[in-house]
C-alpha cells in the first residue's frame, strides 16, 4: 500500500514520456511534419466532408509539409469561425448572406468545389419498393401535417406499395447547416405555406422532429430509428446503406439523385451563375434535373497575414480545380462544369 | 476537520509566528503573500468568469430582459430566442434523474450502512465510487448504443402499454428523448447519493438504533423510522448536490436527448437541455445575438447551479452543527 | 398480535432485500459498463489504433495516436497551470488563513467546482481563443486547468489539516520559520493525501469533453506545439459515436476503453492508497 502513491507518480511520468515523444514525432507509421511545415485550419459543412477529407489527406501525401485540418461542424459553424477569425478558411453549402459578408474584416471569396444532392432518406423495414415523393408531400411531412406512413397523400404517388401504419419520425439538423439551407430553400420554392411559416435558412424553427448533429448525426438517427425520414447528402445515404426515394422535379418527372441528374441540374444554370458564384440551384428546370441540388463552397479570405499560408491556399485551390475534381464522381458528387472551373481559376488571383 | 480538539494549538502557533523576529521571518511574509495570492486567484477566476458571461450576453439581456426566461421560441432566422424549452428540459431530466436515483441510492446506502458486513460494505462502496469517476462521454456512448435502442424497442412501448393513459407516456417511441436523458443522468448521480448518504447514516450514533431495538422494533423499523430521519438533513444535502451535478451534465445528455427545443408533456418526446444546446450550437452560432444568447443561457445555468449549491451548503452546515452538538 | 408481528417481520425482510437489490444493481452497472467496453472496445483495440492517424471516412486503418498524445499534452499543461496554484491555495487555507477570507475562498472554490464544464469552455473561448484567433491546446489546457484549481485547493487543505499540530509545534520549537515548517514538516507528512488528491484531480479532468469542444477543437493530424487545435480522446469518442459510420463506432468503443481504463486505474490506485480513511467524492 505504501508504494501506491509512487505508482501514481509513475503514471504521471508516463505522461511526460508521451509528451517527449511528441517532440520527436518518431512513431513509425505516421508522416512527421517537417520543421517548417504549414498547418491550415478550416471548418464548416458536413455535406462535402467525405470528399474534403479525401482531398486534404491526399494533398498531405503529395506535400508532406502541408497539413490542412478540416473539421465538419456544419456550414453555420464554418461561417461563424471564419468571421471570428479562428480558422483560416470556412466551408458552407449555403452562400454567405450580404449581412454576413459585411461582418467580415476582409473580402471573402466563394469557391464552389463540387455539386451534391440532398435526398429524402428513410427507414421503413420491409418496404417492397422505393418511395416516390411529391414536393407537397415532403413539405407536409416536415410541417407535421402528415404523421403516418400510410397517409393517403403518400399512397397516392406510391400505388401498390405496402406502406405501414407506423408514425413518421422526422429528423432534421440540430446544428446550423448548409444542408438545411438547401432543403428549406427547396421547400420554400415548392410550398408557399412552408415559406411563410418556416422559411429558408441554415437554422430554422422546425415544426416537428428530432435533431441530429451534422449529416453524420441525421444519417445515424435515420439508420437507427424505424419510421424515420431525414434529409441528407447523397453520399451519406449511399455509404451507409440508407434507402432514399425519388423526388418529382419541376417538369413532373420522378428522379432519383445521381450523378447524371445532379449534373443536369447544374447545366441549366451555367449562364446565370453570378460573378461571386452565389446561387441557388434547387428546383432546377429541365426534365433530367434532380430538384434538390447545391454547389458547396470553400470560403476563402482575400488577405492572409501569413504569406506561406496564402501560397498554400492558392496552390491547393489550383490542385483541387484541376486534379481534385476527378475524386468527385467516385464519391457521388458531380464535378464542376468546365466554365465554372475556368472562372474560379481566374478568381484565385484575387487572393492577395 | 473542525473536530480536531486543539484549537488553541493552532492559534498559539499563529501567535508565535506573527511578526516577532522580522528579519528571520521575512520568508514567512513572502510565503504568506504568495499562498494568499494563489488562494485569491480562485476569487479572481470566478469574478472573471461571471464578468465574461455577463458582458458577453449584453445584447439578448437588453433585447429580451426577463422575458427570456419564459420565452418558448427558438428562432435563429428571426432572432427570437427564449430559454424556456431548455430550462424545461434541464429541470425535467434532472427531476426524473432524482426520481429514479434517490430511492435507488438511499436504498443502497441503507443496505451498505445497516446490513452489509463492513468488508463487503467497503468493497461495494469502493466500486460504487468508481462509477462517479466514469467520464460523461462514456455514459453518452453507452446511452446511444445500449439505452436508446433498448428504450425504443422495449422500454417505451412497454411503458406505453401499461401507463399510456398518462400524457407522460404518450407519443411515438423514438428512443432518444427526455426519458433517455433522465435515465442516463440517474446512473451518473446515484454514486454521489450513495456515498454521502452512507457516510451520514453511518455517523448516526449507535444508541439511536439500540434504543429503537430495545423498544421492540424490527431492524427495518429502527432504520426507517429512527436512523434515516436522524440523518435526513445529510441525505437532503446529497440530493441537492446530485441535483447541482445533474443540471450541468453536458455530454451524456446531449447525446441522447434528441436535440429539439420543444416543450412536451410526454417523456418520450425529444427535448434539449441548456448545457446540450450550448454544446451543439456554440461553435456555429452566426451573428452576435445568437452567440450571446447562448452565453446568456450559460449564465442562467451558472445561476441555477449557484442557487442549488448554496442550498446544499445550508443543509450541510446545519447537519454539521447538529452533529457536533450531540 | 401474531399476524401483526408476522407482517412486520415480512416488511423487514422485503425492504432490506430491496435495499440489497439497489446496492447490487448499482455495483452491477459498473461491472456492466466495464465489461461492455472491454468486449466492444477490446476487439477494436489494435496497434494500428494506437499508432496511426485518423484516415478519411471510408478508408480503413485509421487510428487515434494524435488523440492519445493530444490528451496527454492537454493534461500536462493543465496540471502545470492548475496544480501549483491549487496546492499553494490549499496551503494558505490550512496554514495561514484568517477566518473570514478563508471561508469566502472555500465557498468560492466549491462554487467553481460546481460550475458546469461547458461554461468553463465558454470562458476559455472568450479569454483565449478569440484574442488569439486560434483554437489551441493552450486554450483547452486553460479550461481544464481552471477546473483543476478548486479540487486541488480542497484536497490539499484537507490533507494538511490531518497533520497533527504537534508536528508543526515541534519544528517551531526548534527555531524553524513558519514556511520552513510547512515545507519540511507539514507537507511531507501530508504528501500521501496531497498526491492522491492530485491524481484524482487529473483523472477527473481527463474525461472532460465539453470544455474542449470549442477550445482545443480537434485535429486530423498531429498538433505541433501548443498553438494549434488538437485531437483528444474524449472529443474523438464523441465525434465518432454520433457519426453513422460503423468503422468510426468501433474506434469510438476502443477510445472509450482506453480513456476509461486510464481514469479507473488512476482512481483505483489513488483510493487504495488512502484506504482506511473515508473516501471523499
Question: Which chains border C (3 or more CB–CB pairs < 8 Å)?
Answer: A, B
Find chain A residues with C-beta within 8 A of B285's C-beta.
76, 80, 176
Give strand pairing partners of A133: A247
Question: Which chains border A (3 or more CB–CB pairs < 8 Å)?
Answer: B, C
3-state secondary structure of B217: coil
Secondary element (H or E) of residue A233: strand A228-233
Cell of A315: 496552390
Q: Evaluate whether C166 touches C247 at the Cβ level (below 8 Å).
A: no
pLDDT band at residue A297, thresholds of 50, 70 and 90?
Answer: very high
Structure confidence at residue A121 (pLDDT): 96
User: What's the average model confidence in pLDDT over C46-74?
Assistant: 86
Angle formed at CA B308 by CA B303 and CA B309, multiple of 5 degrees: 95
- Residue A31 in this model has a pLDDT that exceeds 70: no
**Cα A27 to Cα A29: distance, rounded to the nearest angstrom:** 6
Per-residue 3-state assignment (H helix, E strand, C coil) for B226-289: HHHHHCHHHHHHHHHHHHHHHHHCCHHHHHHCCCCCCCCCCCCCCCCCHHHHHHHHHHHCCCHH
> What ipTM goes with this model?
0.87
Which residues of A touch chain B, with CB atoms under 8 Å apart? 43, 73-81, 83, 100, 167, 169, 174-176, 199, 201-206, 209-213, 217, 221, 224-225, 227
pLDDT band at residue C149, thresholds of 50, 70 and 90?
Answer: very high
Structure confidence at residue B273 (pLDDT): 92
Query: How large a percentage of chain A has pLDDT more than 90?
Result: 49
B77 CB-near residues (< 8 Å, 6+ apart):
A199, A201, A203, A204, A205
pLDDT band at residue A1, thresholds of 50, 70 and 90?
Answer: very low
Closest CA to A236 of A138, A332, A151: A332
**Cα A102 to Cα A99: distance, rounded to the nearest angstrom:** 5
Give A58→chain C minimum CA distance, Å: 10
User: What's the average model confidence in pLDDT over A209-235?
Assistant: 90
Top residue of C178, C240, C246 to mutate, by most chain B CBs within 10 Å, is: C178
Q: Evaluate whether A321 touches A124 at the Cβ level (below 8 Å).
A: no
**Residues B199-227 pLDDT 10s:** 889 888 888 888 888 988 888 888 888 88
State whether B284 and A205 contact (CB < 8 Å). Answer: no
φ, ψ dihedrals at B186, nearest 5° = -60, -45
Closest residue in C to B294 (Cα) is: C122
Structure confidence at residue A29 (pLDDT): 37
Find chain C residues with C-beta within 8 A of B45's C-beta.
112, 146, 149
**Residues C89-143 pLDDT 10s:** 999 988 887 788 888 898 888 888 888 889 999 999 889 988 888 889 999 999 9
Cell of A273: 451563375
pLDDT band at residue A175, thresholds of 50, 70 and 90?
Answer: confident
Averaged pLDDT score across all residues of chain B? 84
Structure confidence at residue A27 (pLDDT): 39
Higher pLDDT, C276 or C171: C171
3-state secondary structure of B190: helix
Query: How large a percentage of chain B has pLDDT more than 70?
Result: 90
How crowded is residue B46: how many other Cβ atoms within 10 Å of its Cβ? 18
3-state secondary structure of A41: strand
Closest residue in A to C200 (Cα) is: A8
Structure confidence at residue A8 (pLDDT): 55
- Residue A19 in this model has a pLDDT that exceeds 70: no
- Residue A30 in this model has a pLDDT that exceeds 50: no
DSSP C50-89: HHPPP--TT-S----HHHHHHHHHHHHHHHHHHHHHHHHH
User: What's the average model confidence in pLDDT over B269-298?
Assistant: 87
Give A201→chain B minimum CA distance, Å: 6
Structure confidence at residue A24 (pLDDT): 43
Structure confidence at residue B321 (pLDDT): 60
DSSP C199-267: HHHHHHHHT--HHHHTTT---SS---TTTS----HHHHHHHHHTSS-HHHHHHHHHHHHHHHHHHHHHH
Closest CA to C259 of C41, C23, C5, C32: C41
> Across A202-206, B94-98, B318-322, which has the greatest mean pLDDT?
B94-98
3-state secondary structure of A296: strand
User: Where on the phi/psi map is residue C28: left (φ > 0), alpha (ψ -120 to 50), or beta?
Assistant: alpha
Overall size of chain C counted in residues? 281
- Residue A33 in this model has a pLDDT that exceeds 60: no
φ, ψ dihedrals at B31, nearest 5° = -60, -45
State whether C23 and B108 contact (CB < 8 Å). Answer: yes
Amino acid at each position: 500500500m505504501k508504494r501506491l502513491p509512487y505508482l501514481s507518480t509513475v503514471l504521471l511520468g508516463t505522461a511526460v514520456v508521451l509528451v517527449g515523444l511528441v517532440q520527436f514525432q518518431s512513431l513509425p507509421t505516421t508522416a512527421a511534419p517537417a520543421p517548417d511545415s504549414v498547418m491550415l485550419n478550416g471548418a464548416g459543412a458536413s455535406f462535402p466532408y467525405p470528399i474534403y477529407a479525401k482531398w486534404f489527406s491526399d494533398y498531405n501525401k503529395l506535400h508532406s509539409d502541408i497539413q490542412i485540418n478540416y473539421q465538419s461542424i456544419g456550414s453555420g459553424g464554418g461561417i461563424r469561425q471564419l468571421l471570428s477569425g479562428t480558422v483560416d478558411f470556412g466551408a458552407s453549402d449555403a452562400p454567405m448572406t450580404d449581412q454576413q459578408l459585411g461582418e467580415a474584416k476582409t473580402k471573402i471569396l466563394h469557391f464552389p468545389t463540387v455539386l451534391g444532392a440532398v435526398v429524402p432518406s428513410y427507414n421503413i423495414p420491409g418496404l417492397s419498393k422505393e418511395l416516390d415523393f411529391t414536393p407537397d408531400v415532403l413539405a407536409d411531412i416536415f410541417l407535421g401535417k402528415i404523421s403516418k406512413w400510410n397517409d393517403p397523400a403518400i399512397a397516392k404517388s406510391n400505388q401498390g406499395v405496402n406502406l405501414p401504419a407506423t408514425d413518421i419520425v422526422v429528423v432534421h439538423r440540430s446544428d446550423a447547416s448548409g444542408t438545411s439551407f438547401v432543403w428549406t430553400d427547396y421547400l420554400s420554392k415548392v410550398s408557399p405555406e412552408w415559406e411563410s411559416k418556416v422559411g429558408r435558412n441554415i437554422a430554422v424553427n422546425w415544426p416537428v422532429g428530432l435533431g441530429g448533429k451534422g449529416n453524420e448525426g441525421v444519417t445515424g438517427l435515420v439508420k437507427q430509428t424505424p419510421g424515420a425520414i431525414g434529409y441528407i447528402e447523397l453520399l451519406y445515404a449511399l455509404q451507409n446503406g440508407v434507402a432514399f426515394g425519388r423526388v418529382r422535379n419541376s417538369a413532373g418527372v420522378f428522379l432519383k439523385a445521381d450523378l447524371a441528374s445532379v449534373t443536369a441540374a447544374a447545366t441549366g444554370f451555367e449562364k446565370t451563375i453570378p460573378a461571386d458564384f452565389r446561387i441557388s440551384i434547387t428546383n432546377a428546370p429541365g426534365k433530367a434535373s434532380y430538384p434538390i441540388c447545391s454547389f458547396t463552397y470553400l470560403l476563402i479570405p482575400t488577405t492572409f497575414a501569413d504569406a506561406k499560408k496564402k501560397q498554400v491556399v492558392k496552390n491547393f485551390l489550383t490542385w483541387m480545380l484541376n486534379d481534385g475534381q476527378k475524386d468527385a464522381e467516385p464519391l457521388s458528387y458531380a464535378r464542376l462544369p468546365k466554365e465554372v472551373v475556368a472562372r474560379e481559376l481566374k478568381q484565385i488571383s484575387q487572393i492577395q | 476537520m473542525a473536530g480536531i480538539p486543539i484549537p488553541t494549538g493552532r492559534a498559539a502557533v499563529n501567535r508565535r509566528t506573527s511578526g516577532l523576529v522580522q528579519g528571520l521571518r521575512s520568508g514567512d511574509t513572502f510565503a504568506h503573500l504568495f499562498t494568499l495570492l494563489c488562494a485569491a486567484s480562485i476569487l479572481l477566476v470566478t469574478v472573471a468568469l461571471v464578468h465574461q458571461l455577463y458582458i458577453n450576453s449584453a445584447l439578448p439581456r437588453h433585447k429580451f430582459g426577463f422575458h427570456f426566461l419564459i420565452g418558448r421560441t427558438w428562432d435563429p432566422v428571426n432572432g427570437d430566442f427564449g430559454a424556456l424549452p431548455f430550462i424545461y428540459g434541464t429541470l425535467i431530466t434532472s427531476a426524473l434523474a432524482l426520481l429514479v436515483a434517490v430511492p435507488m441510492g438511499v436504498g443502497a446506502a441503507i443496505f451498505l450502512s445497516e446490513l452489509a458486513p463492513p468488508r463487503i460494505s467497503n468493497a461495494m462502496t469502493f466500486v460504487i465510487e468508481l462509477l462517479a469517476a466514469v467520464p460523461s462521454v462514456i455514459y453518452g456512448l453507452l446511452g446511444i448504443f445500449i439505452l436508446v435502442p433498448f428504450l425504443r424497442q422495449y422500454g417505451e412501448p412497454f411503458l406505453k402499454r401499461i401507463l399510456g393513459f398518462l400524457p407522460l407516456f404518450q407519443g411515438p417511441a423514438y428512443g432518444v428523448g427526455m426519458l433517455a436523458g433522465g435515465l442516463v443522468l440517474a446512473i451518473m448521480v446515484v454514486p454521489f447519493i450513495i456515498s454521502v448518504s452512507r457516510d451520514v447514516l453511518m455517523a448516526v450514533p449507535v444508541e439511536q438504533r439500540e434504543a429503537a431495538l430495545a423498544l421492540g422494533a424490527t431492524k427495518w423499523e429502527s432504520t426507517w423510522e429512527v436512523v434515516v430521519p436522524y440523518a435526513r438533513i445529510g441525505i437532503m444535502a446529497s440530493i441537492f448536490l446530485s441535483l447541482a451535478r445533474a443540471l450541468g451534465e453536458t455530454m451524456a445528455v446531449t447525446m441522447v436527448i434528441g436535440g429539439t427545443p420543444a416543450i412536451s408533456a410526454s417523456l418520450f418526446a425529444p427535448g434539449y437541455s441548456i448545457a446540450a444546446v450550448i454544446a451543439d450550437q456554440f461553435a456555429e452560432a452566426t451573428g452576435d445575438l445568437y452567440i450571446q444568447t447562448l452565453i446568456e443561457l450559460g449564465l442562467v445555468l451558472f445561476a441555477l447551479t449557484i442557487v442549488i449549491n448554496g442550498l446544499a451548503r445550508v443543509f450541510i452546515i446545519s447537519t454539521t452543527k447538529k452533529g457536533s452538538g450531540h | 398480535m401474531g399476524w401483526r408481528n408476522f407482517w412486520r417481520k415480512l416488511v423487514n425482510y422485503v425492504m432490506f432485500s430491496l435495499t440489497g437489490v439497489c446496492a447490487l444493481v448499482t455495483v452491477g452497472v459498473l461491472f456492466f459498463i466495464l465489461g461492455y467496453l472491454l468486449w466492444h472496445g477490446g476487439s477494436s483495440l489494435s496497434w494500428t489504433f494506437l499508432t496511426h492517424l485518423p484516415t478519411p471516412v471510408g478508408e480503413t486503418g485509421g487510428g487515434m495516436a494524435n488523440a492519445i498524445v493530444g490528451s496527454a499534452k492537454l493534461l500536462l499543461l493543465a496540471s502545470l497551470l492548475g496544480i501549483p496554484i491549487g496546492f499553494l491555495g490549499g496551503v494558505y487555507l490550512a496554514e495561514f488563513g484568517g477566518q473570514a477570507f478563508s471561508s469566502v475562498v472555500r465557498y468560492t472554490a466549491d462554487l467553481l467546482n460546481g460550475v458546469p464544464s461547458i461554461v468553463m469552455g465558454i470562458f476559455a473561448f472568450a479569454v483565449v481563443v478569440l484574442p488569439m484567433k486560434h483554437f489551441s491546446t493552450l486554450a483547452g489546457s486553460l479550461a481544464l486547468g481552471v477546473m483543476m484549481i478548486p479540487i486541488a485547493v480542497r484536497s490539499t487543505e484537507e490533507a494538511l489539516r490531518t497533520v497533527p499540530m504537534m508536528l508543526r509545534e515541534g519544528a517551531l520549537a526548534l527555531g524553524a520559520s513558519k514556511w520552513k515548517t510547512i515545507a519540511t514538516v507539514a507537507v511531507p507528512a501530508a504528501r500521501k493525501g496531497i498526491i492522491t488528491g492530485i491524481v484524482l484531480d487529473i483523472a477527473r479532468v481527463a474525461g472532460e469533453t465539453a470544455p474542449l469542444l470549442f477550445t482545443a477543437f480537434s485535429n486530423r493530424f498531429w498538433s505541433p506545439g501548443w498553438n494549434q487545435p488538437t485531437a483528444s480522446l474524449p472529443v474523438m469518442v464523441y465525434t465518432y459515436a454520433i457519426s453513422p459510420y460503423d468503422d468510426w463506432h468501433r474506434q469510438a468503443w476502443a477510445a472509450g476503453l482506453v480513456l476509461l481504463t486510464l481514469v479507473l486505474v488512476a482512481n483505483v490506485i489513488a483510493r487504495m492508497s488512502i484506504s482506511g480513511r473515508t473516501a471523499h467524492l
